[in-house]
Amino acid sequence: MKKVVSISLGSSNLDYSFRTKFLGQNFQIVRIGTDRNIRTAEKHLREWRSKADAIGLGMVQGQYWVGTNCFPQQSTQKLEKLAGDTPVSTGARLREIVQEWSLRSAQAELGSIFNNAKVLFLSGATNYRMASIMAEYTQNLSFADPVLQFGAPNLLHSLRTLELYAAGSHPIIRYKTIAALVPSLAPVKFLNRLILKNAIKHADVIVASYDQLQRYDREELAGKTVLTSSISAQRLKILKEKGVRLVIDCSIQLFKQTVGLNVVEAMFMAALEKKAENISHDDYLEIFTDLDLKPRILYPTKGKKQINRFAFVIHPLAQKYLLNLKPLELASKVSPPAVMNIVEKAAAYSPPFVYSKVEGIISPTGVEAEGWLISVGGTPKQIMSHSPEFTYRQLLAAADMAKKLGAQIMGLGAFTKVVGDAGVTVAKRAPLPITTGNSYSASGALWAAHDAVARLGLVKLSKGEKIKGKAMVVGATGAIGGACARLLARTAEEVHLVSPESAKLLVLEKSILKESPATKLVLSSYADSDKNIGDMDMIVTATSGAGKKILDIMKVKPGCVITDVARPLDLPAEEVEKRPDVLVIESGEVYLPGDVRMKQIGFEDHNVVYACLAETIVLTLEGRFENFTVGRNIEWEKVHEIYKLGLKHGMRLAAISGVNGVFSDKDIATIRKLALEARKTWQGGSATTPARARQTPAKKRRTAHKSARG
């Protein structure tokens, strides 16, 4: 029987002794804790070196590399020499393999969890190998070595500064064991602890030993992902009480008893009858394969998974929305319009700022999302009056801010996604993935339109069959319009495509007929669209007409459903009020899962957001940190994909809204009644409707915070 003894500088309360079979051989494993007493450890080494087949040294630090510098630990070397000819292991070689394996496995399995994460290493020098791997996924690295070891007031924030620090500090600390690395030199221990607490609070991921984690409570660790080792059931329970969300245990647990990597490597040595330096990588690969080892990804709280992060760019839709900023709100009361015009121009040059933190989004899968709404100051008037390059600079500044905050993807809202090449240039230059949200905007528009048609009940809808009616897309060659046209061709018998770009219309027609050959398509320019508009049961208007009149609502068929996804709206409130027998909706807003907390962006219910923002959130929950929707050509496959992903993560269509707010069932019933009455005298070319029953929902109008339209 092989005998492996672990002599640890850790607590003697964790001692154990058990027998097991490993790699086809019988083993007896004994752990002896020395409560940080080096003398006691030396005594046990002399006692066991002739009795054990291999010895593990726990809670010690062997030699380590930081950059190109190797740093031996003399106190550990002294202990190793006391083992004599008996193979001795600190677990260092195996630890490097297991740490990298665990980290990369988690990154692959959990959907790029470390992308742009804010990662804090409580001991960077002794985890340099892991830090260098983590740097492949994020540049937001921080190292607490100088704070912990010398009580310095600042952390390190790059691998290069860590290398320089290690080279300068090693001559001082080389005689200390890892257990002795405490801020004993700090002039003010309270300040030292405050710095570390603050650093942990602002990090997304903490890399630390369990012993280090024990010093902090729920206030610091709640919601964090931790990379640590040797996590037993009892330790996992304690981490749960501290609020830790996800634990990546960089160790191998083959037995009921939790053991350190020094023990496992000592068992390898005893079984193979080789010293640690003689065990090849092929030996490790063979053992890992034979034992079918899997990384330990643990969730202290059942059902909860990681938190992913996003940013979304908004801007004020008009001069009046600038007044939401307190200083400007006060100034507007005493300033003439000319002054506010100057303020509007100046605001366009202001740097991006965080308008609101977004929290509480919880997918049924257990994954959560949090993020930041970042505002740029330009109104649509100012954005369109500057060159695209001006807006690109603003958006790239917002992207830099998002990266520092730890966002893993950034969405573009309102006019920021239509300027220039619709996100292509920004996506190329930005330090994180970009999406415009147009795929979900298209999906949401049709989602809302279908729901509205069903609720009105004026058009025959049969499950599995196309809508028995006619549909029109105004602005069909645009990004959202083109996607809506493709979707409508799959759901309606006849679709009219309207655009002034004749050549693009012909290309679009050919493409749609390949996908939906049974659909009847009718092409027309804006000038000719009015002659068919009175026959339409459903209209989607998705232009970029910047306030120009696109269609004559007085010629629309009573009971028609118009989905206005143009920004600014093609049909302003005064136009909509002319036709109380027509249902005009702004788009398909999306209801987010969870209990969302953020500042208002146009809805009384914080769980309701515009579809473009919802797309960013869906991708965040899915861990799809990629340039998803950019450019003016939207792929209908992505429109369908984001719709399915939205359902997976608990998204649902919010109550459909018009220019004045949410439509109630009573509002829908009123529109239906008026439409049925109007159809009795409908001539197919003009409408005269009573001034009664204005299309105003019973609920309150939206607040004046509309700054994130999709």
410-457 residue pLDDT tens: 999 888 887 888 899 999 999 999 999 989 988 888 888 888 999 999
Q: Domain residues of the chain, as ranges?
A: 2-89, 92-260+292-298
Domain 2-89 and domain 92-260+292-298, same fold? Reply is yes
Tell me: the pLDDT tens digits for 164-192? 999 988 777 665 544 444 445 445 577 88
Tell whether the model's pLDDT for residue 198 goes beyond 50.
yes
Tell whether the model's pLDDT for residue 692 goes beyond 60.
no
Tell whether the model's pLDDT for residue 540 goes beyond 50.
yes
Mean pLDDT of 29-46: 96
How far lies 429's CA from each of 352, 397, 398, 639, in Å?
A: 17, 11, 12, 25
pLDDT at residue 558, rounded to an integer:
96
Tokens 């030396």, residue located: 42
Mean pLDDT of 669-693: 76
Q: 182 and 148 in contact (C-beta within 8 Å)?
A: yes
Beta pairing partners, 562: 539, 584
Give the Cα separation of 141 and 122 in Å (integer): 11
Beta pairing partners, 246: 225
Give the Cα separation of 47 and 43 in Å (integer): 6
Give the Cα separation of 327 and 324 in Å (integer): 9
Closest CA to 659 of 634, 686, 694: 694
Give the Cα separation of 402 and 432 in Å (integer): 8
pLDDT at residue 151, rounded to an integer:
81
Which residues, other chains included, contact 16 with Cβ-Cβ below 8 Å and sequence gap of 6+? Answer: 29, 30, 31, 257
pLDDT at residue 192, rounded to an integer:
83
**Rounded to 5°, angle at Cα 512 from 506 and 514:** 110
Query: How many residues are recorded in the chain?
Result: 710
pTM: 0.82
Give the Cα separation of 269 and 55 in Å (integer): 9
Tell whether the model's pLDDT for residue 118 goes beyond 90.
yes
Tell me: the pLDDT tens digits for 261-272? 999 999 999 999
Tell whether the model's pLDDT for residue 635 goes beyond 90.
no
Q: Identity (one letter) of the amino acid at 489?
A: A
User: In the CATH scheme, what is the code of domain 2-89?
Assistant: 3.40.50.300
pLDDT at residue 89, rounded to an integer:
94
Q: What is the DSSP string of 356-412?
A: EEEEEEE-TTS-EEEEEEEE----HHHHHHS-HHHHHHHHHHHHHHHHHHT-S-EEE
Would you say domain 92-260+292-298 falls under CATH 3.40.1350? Answer: no
Closest CA to 423 of 308, 312, 349, 318: 312
Structure tokens at 349: 């040059």
Q: Identity (one letter) of the amino acid at 379?
A: T
Structure tokens at 309: 């992060």
Phi and psi at residue 419, in whole multiples of 5°? -70, 140
Tell whether the model's pLDDT for residue 331 goes beyond 60.
no
Tell me: the pLDDT tens digits for 381-402? 788 888 999 999 999 999 999 9
Tell whether the model's pLDDT for residue 653 goes beyond 50.
yes
Q: What is the DSSP string of 396-457?
A: HHHHHHHHHHT-S-EEE-GGGGTSTTTTHHHHHHSSS-EE--HHHHHHHHHHHHHHHHHHHT
Which residues, other chains included, contact 548 with Cβ-Cβ below 8 Å and sequence gap of 6+? Answer: none
Res. 124 pLDDT band, cuts 50 70 90 = very high
Res. 659 pLDDT band, cuts 50 70 90 = confident
Closest CA to 375 of 421, 322, 438, 339: 322
How far lies 262's CA from each of 85, 125, 225, 693, in Å?
A: 17, 19, 24, 79
Could you tell me how far CA 698 lies from the centroid of its own chain? Answer: 36
Query: Which DSSP state fits 541?
Result: E
